[in-house]
Structure 1
């Protein structure tokens, strides 16, 4: 018998759902999700099963799907199965296969939840998954939210097995003689998470055999800390941010009194899509003249005398965000191709820009020119208004509305495509890595 009292106690303690709710279980066929299904069945709860076939492991993918279909039939519960073109999606969105699989499954789970009126989506993460997530976040860089890793409940997602470790699950599966299928990719050290699972965590357990329990307590403390921070940010929003008809206004005078300034400023700007490097660059730029702007994918932030003004970007204007991993960006009838090299060089080609990569703050913005734009043309030491630059170059009015302007994450213009790059971003003798942007007409 499974420890149903511990299972239902964890659900009640964390208020994951009510007894009469309909729960959609994400079941891959592996031991974790299969055990979760058996817990729900033996507890007499209302549930259905969703299974994703990502088509990544050929025969194994088909085997997993057949196993889950049989499991649902034996348990007499609804079953939903979908097939994804995961690699094609990853290539089209320029993301990793793992990230593509994650995006696809969560989108589909939410569609199922709404369509079939499920109250929650249950995922079979356990304590070891939580440890791996925290360590992975630390390695990649994270804020407080990344330190608590996986939470028992967030929005409609619940994780009712977080009271169990991987060892606990193995023992329960063995004791109850529960059948499951093994994903061979879990045994590969090719993925970052698997490297932590197979190589790093066993070493940590040599130092602390109770690692799962220690991390569980740490995660609770970090989650509480994040809650305190959120309360502090909510109070600051009421004090510093003023919503007006034309945007959101922040007092620079009040921002100057913040402590710790960088953390609180980032949290204030995060809801509008501004990254941490951009928020830091903004703080370093508060003494600059009015008109300096910074961009996220959805908003523009402008320094205006004693205030910061956040406005939503008009999506009707041509605008393309460029992430560090992007290699191309479409802009009207033009394509910007991007590559990186450690060999400093330069060509006298107006359709190419050779930029010091270390000076770039991603995401970059590719857009049309705006009134008030200015930059420092290559070879000059003074700023020039973009409108005057276009006049000097005798650019016809209709044409200048289609010229791509490459803008850094701090709002500074890097390159006027096909005309001139900015002197501040040129390759010098101290440049270590070069970003090359090339304009081509489609």
Structure 2
């Protein structure tokens, strides 16, 4: 078995450059075998071993027995043992987790705590081939894709699984060969949990069909791991080409000639980048978002974690959660207003001469100053905003104007408008209201110039 583990390590570099290995030691067969394998390998790879035992505060005398066993084992072989004690039932209730989830959390928290004390450390856990096959089957029953069909992987971050290449039978044979006893966990014999039923019922039945069932499932998982790595690298490349991230969220452009699987992978990456989690995000959510590429502009859907997705002309936009801040500034003339986004608006009053040429600069606009009836404001939009769109005085709601101009909904609240009360004089980058346009009767003109390093027309 040792030669298989060495070959497995060389293939995946599990122990390369490792200074210390933090080994999870429960006292069960798997962790005891891992303990001895690492002892055999430490001189070859030049690392030290620190064992960690986590007492969960359940299983009573049986758990105390496991702790004593680990103490004696480490004392016998001169390995440092770190001990952690938790009240898992209480912690599970406080964290709203199942006892299994809470137990897993504290184990890895304990491992990481010790690992943080050492440079170039790895955390070694005792998952083996049967565990990997069990995980593949478990994922299949819940619904999964390529990633789930990998099962447990040899290395994730600084967590390594040196025994993933061997089966439970190999481990028991190894312990028998070196005359090493171990502890039995009575809860593993119960079929009340899904994983235990797979372990104790389904895998033995599969072995009756093919004695190499576990090895064959693991071989398939290896192939899925290689394929998944290739596809994820491709998705990453496509995402880098098609995604634009900014402070508001992520714009995802539709890639040319990409199949639905790749597009869905890009959507998953966008959600993960935006929220840091994919928990409770289902295939139905991803499919619904994927269909947004073919919807009309302005269509929006809301999914988990407050994620809003909006169809735009250029693609689909994933909006970040944000508390919209309403800004309003009363303008004095002359003055220069610096906006929160770094842009500026400069205001001047000038005497207008008939026949004077009107500037064609897109960032400079002229208004009939004497038609301003209310306070002159620079502000974000409000509910009753409108513009006058023709010489007959017909009005158009600002929201309708935004829709007609295909202005993405997620930026509408952040646009700074020039307003006379509820009357929008100018949407910077867009039109001005007909009511304020210069005529032959105009005497005084308000000149407004926009600019700044962040100004975008």
Q: TM-score range by the shorter chain?
A: 0.5 to 0.7
Q: How does 1:328-343 map to 2 (within 5 A)?
A: none
Q: Could you tell me which of 14, 20, 23 is aligned with 2:21?
A: 23
Q: 1:208 and 1:85 mapped to 2: Cα distance? A: 42
1:313 aligned onto 2:328 = no
1:292 aligned onto 2:308 = no
Q: 1:257 and 1:230 mapped to 2: Cα distance? A: 14
Secondary structure (helix, strand or coil) at the match of 2:7 reads: helix
Deviation at 1:197? 1.0
Deviation at 1:53? 0.7
Deviation at 1:313? 2.4
Q: How many residues align?
A: 316
Q: How does 1:409-424 map to 2 (within 5 A)?
A: none
TM-score normalized by the length of structure 2: 0.64
Q: How does 1:34-45 map to 2 (within 5 A)?
A: 34-43=32-41, 44=43, 45=47
Structure 1, unpaired ranges of 5+ = 318-370, 373-442
Q: Does structure 2 retain, via aligned residues, the 8 Å contact 1:128–1:166?
A: yes
Secondary structure (helix, strand or coil) at the match of 1:297 reads: helix
Q: 1:14 and 1:315 mapped to 2: Cα distance? A: 46
1:7 aligned onto 2:5 = yes
CA deviations over 1:12-56 (Å, ceiling 9, x no partner)? 222001265210000100011001111122333421101111112
Q: How does 1:169-180 map to 2 (within 5 A)?
A: 169-180=171-182
Q: Residues 157, 198 of structure 1: CA spacing in aligned structure 2 closer, same or farther, 3 A cutoff? A: same
Secondary structure (helix, strand or coil) at the match of 1:131 reads: helix
Q: 1:53 and 1:27 mapped to 2: Cα distance? A: 11
Q: Does structure 2 retain, via aligned residues, the 8 Å contact 1:278–1:294?
A: no
Q: Does structure 1 retain, via aligned residues, the 8 Å contact 2:54–2:107?
A: yes
Q: Does structure 2 retain, via aligned residues, the 8 Å contact 1:49–1:79?
A: yes
Q: Could you tell me which of 204, 226, 229 is aligned with 2:228?
A: 226
1:79 aligned onto 2:81 = yes
Higher mean alpha-carbon deviation, 107-116 vs 273-282, is at 273-282
Q: How does 1:244-259 map to 2 (within 5 A)?
A: 244-251=246-253, 253-254=254-255, 258-259=259-260
Deviation at 1:124? 0.6
Q: Does structure 1 retain, via aligned residues, the 8 Å contact 2:297–2:313?
A: yes
TM-score normalized by the length of structure 1: 0.66
Which position in structure 2 is the counterpart of 1:282? 289
CA deviations over 1:203-224 (Å, ceiling 9, x no partner)? 1111111112212221111001
1:121 aligned onto 2:123 = yes
Secondary structure (helix, strand or coil) at the match of 1:277 reads: helix
Q: How does 1:183-222 map to 2 (within 5 A)?
A: 183-222=185-224
CA deviations over 1:334-367 (Å, ceiling 9, x no partner)? xxxxxxxxxxxxxxxxxxxxxxxxxxxxxxxxxx
Give the ranges of 4+ consecutive aligned residues of structure 1 lying more than 6 Å apart after TM superposition.
none
Q: 2:114 and 2:88 mapped to 1: Cα distance? A: 19
Q: 2:7 and 2:258 mapped to 1: Cα distance? A: 46
Q: 2:122 and 2:19 mapped to 1: Cα distance? A: 8
Deviation at 1:11? 1.5
Q: Residues 75, 270 of structure 1: CA spacing in aligned structure 2 closer, same or farther, 3 A cutoff? A: farther
Q: 1:240 and 1:177 mapped to 2: Cα distance? A: 59
Q: 2:14 and 2:323 mapped to 1: Cα distance? A: 38
Secondary structure (helix, strand or coil) at the match of 1:128 reads: helix
Q: Residues 245, 144 of structure 1: CA spacing in aligned structure 2 closer, same or farther, 3 A cutoff? A: same
Q: Does structure 1 retain, via aligned residues, the 8 Å contact 2:255–2:263?
A: no
CA deviations over 1:145-203 (Å, ceiling 9, x no partner)? 11010111111110011121111111111121102111111111111111011111111
Q: 2:183 and 2:290 mapped to 1: Cα distance? A: 52
Q: Residues 52, 250 of structure 1: CA spacing in aligned structure 2 closer, same or farther, 3 A cutoff? A: same
